[in-house]
C-alpha cells in the first residue's frame, strides 16, 4: 500500500511540473479623476500596487482622467 501512495505522489508531482501552473488573479479596469498636478502621484500609486496606466484624458481645465489596470487585491482603500 505504501508503494501505491508513493507512486501516486510521484505521478502527481511529475504532472504538476509538466503542466507549469500559474496563479491567475482578477485584474480591474479603473478610472481615476484627479487634478493635473496629482497625475504623477496617481501613476506612482498605481505602479506601487502592481498596476499600470493605460491612458489619460483631459476633462476640464486642470482635471484629468487616468485610466489603468490593477489587480483587485491591490486596490484596498480605493473608492468606487
Share of the chain above pLDDT 90, in %: 82
In whole angstroms, what is the distance from residue 3 CA to residue 13 CA?
Answer: 15
Residue 63: pLDDT band with limits 50, 70, 90: very high
pLDDT of residue 78: 81
C-alpha cell at 25: 488573479
Residue 28: pLDDT band with limits 50, 70, 90: very high
Q: Mean per-residue pLDDT for 9-25?
A: 92
What are the sequence ranges of the domains in the chain? 25-80
Q: Say which CATH class 25-80 falls into.
A: alpha beta
**What does the pLDDT look like over 1-13, one tens digit per residue?**
899 999 999 999 9
Amino acid at each position: 500500500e505504501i508503494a501505491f501512495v508513493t507512486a501516486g505522489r510521484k505521478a502527481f508531482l511529475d504532472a504538476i511540473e509538466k503542466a507549469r501552473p500559474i496563479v491567475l488573479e482578477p485584474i480591474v479596469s479603473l478610472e481615476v479623476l484627479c487634478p493635473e498636478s496629482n497625475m504623477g502621484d496617481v501613476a506612482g500609486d498605481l505602479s506601487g500596487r502592481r498596476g499600470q496606466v493605460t491612458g489619460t484624458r483631459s476633462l476640464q481645465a486642470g482635471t484629468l482622467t487616468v485610466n489603468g489596470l490593477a489587480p483587485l487585491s491591490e486596490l484596498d482603500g480605493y473608492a468606487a
